[in-house]
Structure 1
Amino acid sequence: MSWEEAEQRIQGAAKQQSRSLDLSYLGLTEIPDAISQLKNLQTLSLQGNQLTTIPDAISQLKNLQTLSLQRNQLTAIPDAISQLKNLQTLSLQGNQLTAIPDAIGQLVNLQTLDLHDNQLTTIPDTISQLVNLQELDLRNDQLTTIPDAISQLSNLQKLYLHGNELLKIPAEILGSTYGDVRSGAEPAKPKDILEYLFRIQKQAQPLNEAKLILVGYGAVGKTSLVNRLVHQRFDASETKTEGIQITDWPLYLNGNEDVKLNVWDFGGQEIMHSTHQFFLTERSLYLLVLNGRQGHEDADAEYWLELIQSFGGDSPVIVVLNKVEEHPFDVNRSGLKQKFPNIKGFVRTDCETERGLDELRQVIEHETDRLEHLRDPFPASWFAIKQRLGDMEENYISFEHYRNICNQNQESDLDSQDSLAVHLHNLGIALNYKDDPRLRDTNILNPLWVTNGIYKILNAHDLADHKGELDLGCLPQLLDPKNYPRQRHGFLMELMRKFELCFPFQDSQERYLIPDLLDKQQPLEAEDFILEDCLNFRYTYPILPEGLLPRFIVRTHVLSSNTLRWRTGVILDFEGSRALVKADRQDRSVSISITGPKNKRRELLGIIRYDFEHIHNNFKFQPEEKIPIPNHPKLTFSYKDLLVMEEQGLVKVPKVINGKLIHLEIKELLNGVDLTKRPQTLRDVEHPSKALQLFYSYSHKDEGIRDQLETHLKVLQRRGLIQNWHDRKILPGTDWKNELDRNLEQADIILPLVSPDFIASDYCYEVEMSRARDRHDAKEAILLPILIRPVDWNSTSFCDIQALPSDLKPVTKWSDKDDAWLNVMQGLKRVIQVIQKNKSLQ
């Protein structure tokens, strides 16, 4: 039947002179020779069959541009494939290939070559002849070497080598996975990956260094454990750890191997849990320390294990039952191990009597020995640089100084210097935030300088008394002036902003609010929300992450006022609608209730969900989204379940309400919480379609106004119409200028936020706007100025271009800012419609 079906499709394609033919998943073991007659064919899909060879007939399809042969049983590629000179995409993943012929180099127009999930041990030197190749996927093969010639592929933009363990390339160097890149992440530069690989192939030695992280509540004995294990001492009156303590612990593994553990001892105070997450890393060994004093050790264990899993992934965990002489206790070991398979053991200890310490040392040494990346090869020059940085007494140096040190130690390549900076950052050896233009010039040699500075601010009594309001003028009293000179205060505040721990008040850049220190009392206005009269939505979590609501308050602060924020909730106002968003730790949930006009309620919910989704992307787990039933807000349906039901053609869903079986309209439930252009399927939710790229050009002095605009445009983002980009979104480890230039070149719409500070900025006005104007005049992008503060408009270089808001009235001059931003959004919508129409015609 499959053969006959294939012949029929080939005959139909020949009759219609088709350019595309799909013969996938027909169970074919060979292909009818008649396929060679399809001279006009440009796209041929043969994936998911049982082909063992590629027939010569395929080589006669001279106009073929895309050939899909993935998920067959191919063991070899014939040289005849070289005749497909017009081929641009070749997909061979999921076969049984052990080699690629030299003839592959003759496919000079090839742009994408997918060879992942085969049995390749190397690739031929002739691959260097694929001068137009942009993407090469070699994931999950069995590669042992890569030819130097691959470096000649000057157009290569994406190189995936993940899953080739024998190459010994660290995850930090490999960069974002294929799936992450498909979801919008930036891929690593092939040049960086290859330079590291070729360097370690020539001269390298194992790093033999890893991170040991101790977590647990305060007063469980973490610091005492470190002192016993590392320094062989004990102090019964040990003071509590403020922030993080970092200790070097030299180990001697297997009787012949020197290894160093960087021991990070995290303070257990509740206020600091939300900031710990920024230093909890994968590829580490964790010690979870518990004691039985409070009597809820099983719940404590689950809380911390969930937190470790969220930020440390599958890193191994040793659970330490401490102070067992003082308070004997145990936990449900089998139950915890079943739920958290990364637990490698349970050890009962007591630091005062030294009970269990020898056993704990042995378990730590055993698990350290098994750490996957402990022995990652490290280039000799990198060792020298790491040693030099470690010997320096300074807490921080400029990034330029770091580059000079690299140059002095035979590492002159800038990309390799950047790769090493990322590597040292992830190991916790030296911190660098070169992804952020406001932070990039400082290289932190002493991570304690950062962590303790932030924790000093968070733990300040005066700050707690003022409900989280911080005046920058108070920092000299909070921080040691010798270690934290006044000129570095701005760096710490920018870092806290980067971590979404605080935001500046709109009326002053000298005053900040830290939501983690807000009052716990919910305002009376929260009682105004009658659930039955509201649009409701809910998130439920396996664990409610500390700092979740404070981060949300930071992200949405332009929609809230000071009196309507508290530590676990906030009330937002947006164009006539109002939302109550609050967290319930016991219920491990966040509830959202919105009043106002129906269309505006949905728009505000779209903004809220957009911001929560951004925060959730930092977690390894995803919460469950739930839709409360109208008039019965305590009864809910799973949002994704409803999408699946709708995708399968179901119209109604049953629910028992007050003892009666009711059938509810699925479409009505979904439309109630989604914007008008709702993703149509579950796949659309997980993989949104291509949106127009929007680029902000602005002065950092106008960042607060940009935040306001971005908040209003989240409605368009939620609809999948646009994707915003500005320099705050530059990813760690990337060159900020190159990233700016790349996103400016890719933008469909360029929004300069025009103000006196923007005009005065040489980079914004002269560099960015010069290129933006060129692209606008060439009809490659649309330049759409947004006038935010009064300027001499007629003297600007783009005064001839239509601007927003209408009538050239600056946003700050509108009495109602919502009206101003609504005017901007409506104008932007019209531009989007024009671009979409032009693209559809193309």
Structure 2
Amino acid sequence: MFRDKISDILVEKINLARELILDEILISNEGIISNFTTVLPEEISELKWLKYLIVSPLEKSSIVGIHESIFDLSFLEEFELKNHRIQELSPSINKFENLRSLNLSNNLLRNIPSIDTISVSLRSLNLSSNNIEVFPESIIGLKNLEELDLSNNYIRHIPNEVGELSNIESINLSNNSLTELPRGIVNLPDNIELKIEENPLINPPIEIARQGLKAIKNYFEDLDRGGVINYEAKLIFVGNGRAGKTSISKRLGKEKFVIGEDVTHGIRIKELLLPMGDENTLKANIWDFGGQEIYHATHRFFLKTRALFCLIWDKETNEDAISQNSDQVNFTIDYWLEKIHELSDASPILLVQNKIDKCNQELIDRISILEDYNVKEFYSVSAKNNKNIDHLLNGIIDTFKNSEELKDIVGFLIPVPWMNVKLKLEELTNNDELNYINYSDYLEICDGQGLDKVSANNLSHNLLHQIGTILHFESPKSLKNIVILNPEWALEAVYELLRSRLLIYNFGRINDSDIDEIWDYYDYGEQNILLELMKKFELCFEDSINKGEYIIPQLLPTVSPKFEWDFSENRFYAFQYKYLHRGIFTRLIVKLSSYSFENCFWRNGIVIHKNNTQAYVTRDLKLKRIFVHLRGHAEDELLRVVIDALAEIDPKAELRLMVGCNCDAYESNVQSQNYFYHTKLKLYKSKNVNELLCDKCSKKKSISDIFGIKSEQKNNLSAIKNYNSEDSNLLLKIKNLIKDSETLKAIEEIYLLAEKNEIKNVSSQALHLMSRYNQLNKLYLKGIVKLEEYLMNMAKINDSLLHISNDYEKNKR
């Protein structure tokens, strides 16, 4: 194989390592000067005492092979060769008798040779992001292995013997092609970290696998007592009012079409029996939701689950902004697709145009819809004339049969004890007419079938909740202690309150006596359950000033209350959405309500404050933006509150952060400000463009002035993640130390915290990073590493610092 001549810089680095008897060497862009791919050079093998060999990604070259002499480094303990183009690993890897950590992630490996010789020493093996299709059997022999990462490969099968890895602490199998896990996995230690996301798992269902090894073990143990195939699932109908959802659901069930069918206020739930072609019948629980806007917020009760969605639309309601009814607002197809995308867990969608008896099939942009959403098929029907209804029915059956997203719901094995509990709960609902029971009673029913608390939790959250039999939530405690047996009962009660004249007359404000009047059919215990349910789904919040009074944001006045706002010296920001619907902002008001300034909130905005800093937060549905302008000394902190709230509301939203120009002529109108995308500003700044022309005020503006920021951290869009405040505090501390060029201090900080909390894997990473830091500085002071290369490698160390910070928080939790 052709090998390029190594650079003089690398020769000097090797000579220095020999002279100083360094036990670690870091190779990066100074090592290879050619644009060709190459092998890892044999000169490194002269460092017989080398313990740590790290080959960073190269800008102009990629390592495709390793010189055989490298494997003679018998003292080597850590070998990192990630982000290259290695296709084959030599069996000579077994010469590394003292190797403790091997990282070959992000290469092109398909197979791994037998690694029996290093089985005693190896503790960490990272083969993630390769092309591995078959689980390397020799891994089973690594009896002392503690960390195994095989994520982002193409593995279809895990051998039963994986349970023999008795010392393993973490296994990452995410993003492979696994449809089932082996029974032998139950022999692994209970406390290991098992990552299994992004696999098409059927056995066990992915919801159970996500809960960890204990839940998986319980599922297999319960299944050993017999299994029954599940043939029950949710079929959810959504769309505008009067689009014909109820009429289509009736036609599917062979019922007669009713001219002038009443509009659905609330929800209708009915059963549809579907022949599956294998002598089995699927019971599809149709959930027919009212299309009126006032009900949309309640969709989160039940749409946040995996089901088959039928989006019913017609030309008339799709084009009309408002129908004849005052409470009936129509929305576009895009709105409903985005709504399903936000709430469901990648559920399949059938897009159904109704009323083709009135107009021909409407042309829509099918290509863009298929690109952006999980739409499986398009249908055009007439419920009135019964046209193409059978075609739709067959499509529903085929989707339930063949959709990958539903395979662990439809047709998966349910342990017999689980099925017995399900039947008992249905008996309580149908025969005893119970709407809810205490969680302790539910556990007693499970105990009667030999199920412990973990199995009971598996059943309630991963089957019964998914198919719509019950509602149960882990928090708050008041809801955790209740199992709702009749979800329709709960939803109808909430609808009754939302459409009450008293609530509408009071512009979304009610107190305890109002609730007694509206819910007079419910006792106090039931009222508390229903109110907690509304709080859980952020339909309302309790007034922080007037205790016992509750606010429903979607019914607040559209005009803001009178208040004085000083528009001078404000910083302006905006969050650009791909699609911004009303529910996002009403939930934002709920989340920010604890920070509200003197109860200053209305349907389109809220004023919040913290640490002598205020923020004026508004929305513009046409522009699809949420605006934030701030004043005070703690802008970073208050902006963080808004960012975290938006991330929790919709982690999947495609948000773009924008920074306002601060045009003097428009300072009192946040919408009229000229906004620049933050990413573009950073790009201009990196290219030494210091000024931009503002289209609004026609003045040149300094990019630094536009930012108006003390730290780049504040405008980092990557901060829009769903993490808790404890994570952000540690990350912020580390980022500030890095910003102040205090990298070594940051490493020491993490090391001391990890040692204090006995998180050994993090403390060892920190020590290793400290060694890399010291070596890099030695090479720089010797003149072997130039400034540009020094800064590049220091940036990589800083990136590693942030990863270690995340590892620390994960381990501590």
**Matched residue of 1:277: which SS?**
helix
Matched, 1:16 2:22: yes
- What is aligned with 2:258? 235
Change (3 A) 1:98 1:295: closer
Q: What are the superposed Cα offsets for residues 406-438 of structure 1, whole Å, 9 maximum, x if unpaired?
A: 2323x4232121111111112222111134322
Q: How far off its partner does 1:157 sit?
A: 2.9
Q: How far off its partner does 1:105 sit?
A: 3.5
Match among 428, 440, 453 for residue 414 of structure 1:
453
Q: What are the superposed Cα offsets for residues 394-416 of structure 1, whole Å, 9 maximum, x if unpaired?
A: 1111112222222323x423212
Residues of 2 paired with 1:562 and 1:268: CA distance? Answer: 35
- What is aligned with 1:112? 147
Checking the alignment, whether the CA contact within 8 Å between 1:17 and 1:38 is kept in structure 2 is no
Bigger mean CA offset, 510-519 vs 188-197: 188-197
**Matched residue of 1:28: which SS?**
strand
Match among 578, 583, 603 for residue 614 of structure 2:
578
Q: How far off its partner does 1:679 sit?
A: 6.3
Query: Counterparts in 2 of 1:184-583, with a 5 A limit?
Result: 188-197=211-220, 203-230=226-253, 232-254=255-277, 256-294=279-317, 296=319, 300-312=332-344, 314-325=346-357, 330-334=362-366, 337=369, 340=372, 342-372=374-404, 373=407, 374-393=410-429, 394-409=434-449, 411-423=450-462, 424-479=464-519, 481=521, 484-525=522-563, 528=565, 530=567, 534-561=570-597, 564-583=600-619
Q: What are the superposed Cα offsets for residues 633-689 of structure 1, whole Å, 9 maximum, x if unpaired?
A: 63222123334555x554536446369684742x4433x2x563716976x636799
Residues of 2 paired with 1:680 and 1:533: CA distance? Answer: 18
Change (3 A) 1:457 1:144: closer
**Matched residue of 2:113: which SS?**
coil
Q: Which amino acid in 2 is paired with 1:610? A: D
Checking the alignment, whether the CA contact within 8 Å between 2:53 and 2:79 is kept in structure 1 is yes
**Matched residue of 2:480: which SS?**
coil
**Matched residue of 1:16: which SS?**
coil
Matched, 1:170 2:193: no
Checking the alignment, whether the CA contact within 8 Å between 2:180 and 2:203 is kept in structure 1 is no
- What is aligned with 2:673? 634
Checking the alignment, whether the CA contact within 8 Å between 2:311 and 2:352 is kept in structure 1 is yes
**Matched residue of 1:556: which SS?**
helix
Residues of 1 paired with 2:377 and 2:116: CA distance? Answer: 57
Matched, 1:100 2:139: no
Bigger mean CA offset, 389-398 vs 600-609: 600-609
Change (3 A) 1:83 1:36: farther
**Matched residue of 1:315: which SS?**
coil
Q: How far off its partner does 1:151 sit?
A: 2.1
Query: Counterparts in 2 of 1:114-153, with a 5 A limit?
Result: 114-118=149-153, 120=155, 122-124=157-159, 127-143=162-178, 146-153=181-188
Q: How far off its partner does 1:558 sit?
A: 3.0
Checking the alignment, whether the CA contact within 8 Å between 1:606 and 1:675 is kept in structure 2 is no
Checking the alignment, whether the CA contact within 8 Å between 1:564 and 1:570 is kept in structure 2 is yes
Q: How far off its partner does 1:268 sit?
A: 1.3
Matched, 1:29 2:35: no
Q: How far off its partner does 1:249 sit?
A: 0.9
**Matched residue of 1:547: which SS?**
helix
Q: What are the superposed Cα offsets for residues 669-710 of structure 1, whole Å, 9 maximum, x if unpaired?
A: 33x2x563716976x6367999856xxxxxxxxxxxxxxxxx
Give the structure-1-normalised TM-score.
0.73
Change (3 A) 1:313 1:403: closer
Matched, 1:615 2:621: no
Matched, 1:676 2:711: yes
- What is aligned with 1:711? none
Residues of 2 paired with 1:290 and 1:150: CA distance? Answer: 47
Q: How far off its partner does 1:345 sit?
A: 3.8
Change (3 A) 1:173 1:79: same
Change (3 A) 1:692 1:330: closer
Checking the alignment, whether the CA contact within 8 Å between 1:2 and 1:28 is kept in structure 2 is no
Residues of 2 paired with 1:301 and 1:467: CA distance? Answer: 29
Change (3 A) 1:358 1:689: closer
Residues of 1 paired with 2:320 and 2:311: CA distance? Answer: 11
Checking the alignment, whether the CA contact within 8 Å between 1:44 and 1:64 is kept in structure 2 is no
Checking the alignment, whether the CA contact within 8 Å between 1:229 and 1:361 is kept in structure 2 is yes
**Matched residue of 2:674: which SS?**
strand
Residues of 2 paired with 1:52 and 1:335: CA distance? Answer: 41
Residues of 2 paired with 1:283 and 1:235: CA distance? Answer: 31
Q: Which amino acid in 1 is paired with 2:680? A: D
Q: Which amino acid in 2 is paired with 1:27? A: I
Give the structure-2-normalised TM-score.
0.75
Bigger mean CA offset, 160-169 vs 434-443: 160-169
Residues of 2 paired with 1:79 and 1:215: CA distance? Answer: 55
**Matched residue of 1:263: which SS?**
strand
- What is aligned with 1:685? 719
The answer for unaligned runs of 5 or more in structure 1 is 176-187, 694-713, 723-747, 750-775, 782-835
Give % identity. 23
Checking the alignment, whether the CA contact within 8 Å between 2:238 and 2:309 is kept in structure 1 is yes
**Matched residue of 1:402: which SS?**
helix
Checking the alignment, whether the CA contact within 8 Å between 2:133 and 2:156 is kept in structure 1 is no
Matched, 1:49 2:85: yes
Checking the alignment, whether the CA contact within 8 Å between 1:117 and 1:139 is kept in structure 2 is yes
Checking the alignment, whether the CA contact within 8 Å between 2:208 and 2:458 is kept in structure 1 is yes
Checking the alignment, whether the CA contact within 8 Å between 1:430 and 1:446 is kept in structure 2 is yes
Checking the alignment, whether the CA contact within 8 Å between 2:71 and 2:96 is kept in structure 1 is no
Q: Say how many residue pairs are matched.
A: 683
Residues of 1 paired with 2:221 and 2:193: CA distance? Answer: 18
**Matched residue of 2:548: which SS?**
strand
Checking the alignment, whether the CA contact within 8 Å between 1:76 and 1:97 is kept in structure 2 is no
Q: What are the superposed Cα offsets for residues 737-787 of structure 1, whole Å, 9 maximum, x if unpaired?
A: xxxxxxxxxxx99xxxxxxxxxxxxxxxxxxxxxxxxxx9x9759xxxxxx
Change (3 A) 1:440 1:144: closer
Q: Which amino acid in 2 is paired with 1:609? A: I
Residues of 2 paired with 1:199 and 1:2: CA distance? Answer: 58
RMSD of aligned Cα (Å): 3.7
Q: How far off its partner does 1:113 sit?
A: 0.3
Q: Which amino acid in 1 is paired with 2:649? A: I
Residues of 1 paired with 2:101 and 2:372: CA distance? Answer: 48
Residues of 1 paired with 2:186 and 2:527: CA distance? Answer: 43
